[in-house]
Structure 1
């Protein structure tokens, strides 16, 4: 997703859900450009009891970090590896290409079963452009609608689902570790019409 949509927070929440189901989860700090990003992910890892793989140096190649982490996850028999990536504008082709590289190097060690695009519920029609570009660059399998706890309705996901055939899987309802819920289509429509 783009900058500030809640990717790292969403990852922390997903890790919490998976560990509650008895899964062995590992997180990867793939945002190597923002020093605070890896720290934020480590805070989430500590909060939910999940190890975080990160580079020792700022500005490291995110694909290298992902490759090393995927090898470690395979070696340690992790059930799930979740890679946090830097926020990126969909019109920056070099950053979009980087996502493809992260996926390719990860697949050398582990299959990639899920690629989630995090969209902010306050995003308007630009969300459709974001979804199209991310889908082309990396092949998204689902959408997480974040920040649905405010006044935003998140109606853009209807267009995303219709045009791209990509389901909305989860919704973020706050900043706490338990503030993530499965997408409820009927409740969502009721919320839009309210």
Structure 2
């Protein structure tokens, strides 16, 4: 069995991790949002060029651009209303001034969901339950989080709760071997709640800091699978009535507005506390984050902009907007 030796100087390791990650993170986000930026910021820059006012035609064109980037109707209306209100209080010199007002408006919408995941070390273990539909990148996200938590000095255990697919268990075990963390698993078709129950017990007995539990890729319109998720939550509480401490919904940004219906369905079966928005690098629909912010206000813990572990990082509202609008990081 793999060991659980602690880092000798946790604070130093956390600082090193942040330095290594953040040194190139803005450029990674900017590159990852390339497809969305071409459609979003390119069109907006052309639209606002040389303008000093927001007339009806400009607002209508801006509305079309926002909607085509999957910002969503509610978020688009909020953005436009706030932009008009800001513009009414200032004398604008040029299109750059309008762009700056838009930047401030977008940041204001996203700031409430900027809430990094903080591990409560008084919990033993801190249980993160990862949910989402098939194909969104749950298992890969778990692997990347594992590496990040290890860099921060935490010990980690994984639970292979996606018992419907043998490939899912094997993939999680591969991540465990790569990062030298134990994986609690049973045979294909085993009861997911049983696997996670065993994992919580094992993590407690071994004094592991963080337990990350995978779950089957539920289709959000399949009631019986959602009921099983509720069972998982009940079973965990038999060991620790405060668990899970984080219920992280993984969403694929490329699904666009379907991410809204997925989030809505999961909120009915699980107390979602965070979102990981993945695959932003492969889509022009990155504007979906604004729709999610407006509709649910669930904290976005992580965003993913590539295949490497370093391509998953904490979400920062200003950084995201600056990368999206192709403005310098402040």
> Do both proteins adopt the same fold according to a TM-score greater than 0.5, normalized to the shorter chain?
yes
Aligned equivalents of 1:62, 1:9: Cα separation in 2: 19
Q: Which residue of 2 aligns with 1:23?
A: 154
Structure with bigger strand share is 1
> Post-superposition shift, 1:190?
3.4
User: What's the counterpart of residue 88 of structure 1?
Assistant: 218
Q: Among 104, 123, 142, which residue is 1:11 paired with?
A: 142
* 1:141-160 alignment, distance < 5 Å: 141-160=273-292
Map 1:39-54 to 2 at 5 A. 39-54=170-185
Secondary structure at the counterpart of residue 320 of structure 2: helix
Contact 1:27-1:45 at 8 Å conserved across structures: yes
Ranges in structure 2 where 5+ consecutive residues have no aligned partner: 1-131
CA-CA distance at 1:193 after TM superposition: 4.0
Task: Report SS of the residue matched to 1:115.
Answer: strand
The equivalent residue for 1:189 is 321
Which runs of no fewer than 5 residues in structure 1 stay unpaired? none
Where does 1:91-170 land on structure 2 (aligned, <5 Å)?
91-110=221-240, 111-170=243-302
Task: State the 1:53 CA deviation.
Answer: 0.5
- When normalised by structure 1's length, the TM-score is 0.94
Q: How big is the shift at 1:157?
A: 2.3
Q: Answer whether contact 2:256 2:285 (CA < 8 A) is retained.
A: no
Report the CA distance between 1:149 and its aligned residue.
2.1
TM-superposition CA deviations, 1:62-90 (whole Å, max 9, x none): 00101111111111111111111111111
Distance in 1 separating the partners of 2:277 and 2:266: 15
CA distance in 1, matches of 2:316, 2:194: 37
Separation in 1 of the partners of 2:219 and 2:323? 29
Mapped to 2, the partners of 1:131 and 1:191 lie a distance apart of 25
Which is higher, the Rg of structure 1 or of structure 2? 2
TM-score, normalised with respect to structure 2: 0.56
| Structure with more contact order per residue of length (Cα contacts < 8 Å, sep ≥ 6) | 2
Aligned match of 2:200: 70
In 1, Cα distance between the equivalents of 2:319 and 2:169? 35
Instruction: Report the counterpart of residue 35 of structure 1 in structure 2.
Output: 166
